[in-house]
């Protein structure tokens, strides 16, 4: 076991696979000597050189498109977008090309590629650098979407993402990059589609992603003081989704709060709520509740941003309303 950050865990996962497979390479803006805008690629260029840790011009369409072309011709690219917000510029390549090529071509091609995207609010970066756009991505057949909440999960999931023969969108929460945790660098990859129960409880299920997992755990500690035991379920991968673990928890607690950092309207949280309502209705004793951002762009001023983005207090309030 080694204590490293979420950011370092992603880097070590990439390093491991790059050492093992010469066809794995990284491309993106300022990923080389600069080490990545958030420092995730760090010193990888020193070990693997500029061929395999490739700085690109500011051309998100070309970054994703280049990954598509490389993945369809034998390589395993890892593309980094500086912020998830910039995926809009590369969206055609991701949605119309990467996600659809295998299907359109009758399964005769595979696209083993990862697109990493720093996600989420809280860094006072305002409306174009703070979004949580997982609903856009999970909406598209052909993509897998992963969103780890801890250094260990980040490490185990990046290995699986790189090993996957399909396009995988790997979301990373910006405020988690500095979070430290014990990481076993010798673990087997964590399969995509395997949720993790981060805390067990009997009274309510809180399904949370990324940073909201930690808000949910903080909320659970507070609730426990009042005798309410919350179970915190982290799906870890949004698609494929581990419905079984979620349903098992709902069957036990009969109450569900879903906490994500998305704007609520049209969110993936809504999709989770719909899945539970469709498939677990008989086990529910209360309405499914979503705790999400307000339906606004993310504002700049800290006072405004903190008001818009949910935290543990909002989760506590939501839980109490259900009991």
Partner 1 sequence: MDLSNEKLIQMYRTMKRIREFETKAAELFAEGRIPGFVHLYIGEEAVATGVCANLKDSDYITSTHRGHGHIIAKGGDLKYMFAELFGRETGYCKGKGGSMHIADADRGILGANGIVGAGHNIAVGAGLSAKYRDTDQVCVCFFGDGSTNQGTFHEALNMASIWKLPVIFVCENNLYGISMHQSRHQAIQDVADRAVAYNMPGVVVDGNDVLAVYEAAKEAVDRARNGQGPTLIECKTYRHRGHFEGDPTVYRDEEEVKEWLQKDPIPRLVEFMLDNNVVTEEEIKKIDEEIAAEIKEAIKFAEESPFPPVEAAVEDIYTDIVEEVRS
The site for partner 1 (CB under 8 A) is made up of 23, 25, 51, 56-57, 59, 61-62, 64-75, 77, 92-93, 96-97, 101-110, 141-142, 144, 164-166, 240
Shortest distance (Å) from residue 60 CB to partner 1: 9
Q: How many CB atoms lie within 10 A of CB 306?
A: 14
Closest CA to 142 of 99, 94, 200, 112: 99
Shortest distance (Å) from residue 160 CB to partner 1: 11
* Partners of 114 in beta bridges: 78, 168
Q: For residues 51 and 225, which CB has a smaller minimum distance to partner 1 in the complex? A: 51
Cα separation, 258 vs 123, in Å, equals 23
Shortest distance (Å) from residue 181 CB to partner 1: 29
Cα separation, 299 vs 288, in Å, equals 28
Measured over the CA atoms of residue 316, residue 317, residue 322 and residue 323, the dihedral's sign is positive
Shortest distance (Å) from residue 301 CB to partner 1: 33
Where are the extended beta strands (E) located within 13-55?
Answer: 24-28, 53-55
For residue 318, what are the CA distances in angstroms to 167, 196, 206, 241, 266?
A: 35, 22, 10, 24, 19
Q: For residues 143 and 315, which CB has a smaller minimum distance to partner 1 in the complex? A: 143
Q: For residues 24 and 219, which CB has a smaller minimum distance to partner 1 in the complex? A: 24
- 214 annotated active-site: no
Cα separation, 160 vs 61, in Å, equals 25
Q: How many CB atoms lie within 10 A of CB 224?
A: 14
Q: For residues 42 and 65, which CB has a smaller minimum distance to partner 1 in the complex? A: 65
Single out the catalytic residue among 129, 139, 173, 214. 129
Q: For residues 53 and 315, which CB has a smaller minimum distance to partner 1 in the complex? A: 53
Cα separation, 290 vs 318, in Å, equals 8
Shortest distance (Å) from residue 191 CB to partner 1: 10
**Annotated active-site positions, please?**
129
């Amino acid at each position: 076991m080694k204590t490293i950050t979420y950011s370092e865990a992603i880097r070590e996962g990439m390093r491991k696979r790059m050492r093992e497979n010469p066809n794995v390479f990284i491309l993106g803006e300022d990923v080389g000597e600069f080490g990545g805008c958030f420092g995730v690629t760090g010193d990888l260029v020193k070990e693997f050189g500029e061929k395999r840790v490739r700085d690109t011009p500011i051309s998100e369409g070309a970054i994703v498109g280049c990954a598509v072309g490389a993945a369809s011709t034998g390589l395993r690219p890892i593309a980094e977008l500086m912020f998830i917000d910039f995926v809009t510029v590369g969206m055609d390549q991701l949605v119309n090309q990467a996600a659809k090529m295998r299907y359109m071509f009758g399964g005769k091609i595979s696209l083993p590629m990862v697109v990493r995207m720093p996600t989420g609010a809280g860094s006072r970066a305002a409306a174009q650098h703070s979004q949580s756009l997982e609903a856009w991505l999970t909406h598209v057949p052909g993509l897998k979407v992963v969103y780890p909440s801890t250094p260990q999960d980040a490490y185990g999931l990046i290995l699986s993402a790189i090993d996957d023969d399909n396009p995988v969108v790997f979301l990373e929460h910006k405020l988690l990059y500095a979070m430290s945790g014990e990481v076993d660098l010798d673990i087997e990859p964590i399969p995509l589609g395997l949720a993790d129960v981060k805390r067990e409880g009997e009274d309510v299920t809180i399904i949370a992603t990324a940073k909201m997992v930690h808000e949910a755990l903080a909320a659970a500690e507070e609730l426990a003081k009042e005798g309410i035991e919350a179970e915190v379920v982290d799906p870890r991968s949004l698609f494929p989704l581990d419905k079984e673990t979620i349903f098992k928890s709902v069957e036990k607690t009969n109450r569900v709060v879903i906490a994500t950092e998305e704007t609520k309207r049209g969110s993936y949280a809504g999709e989770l709520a719909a899945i539970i309502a469709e498939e677990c209705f008989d086990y529910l004793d209360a309405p499914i509740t979503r705790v999400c951002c307000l339906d606004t762009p993310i504002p700049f001023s800290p006072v405004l941003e903190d008001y818009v983005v949910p935290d543990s207090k909002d989760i506590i309030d939501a839980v109490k309303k259900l009991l």
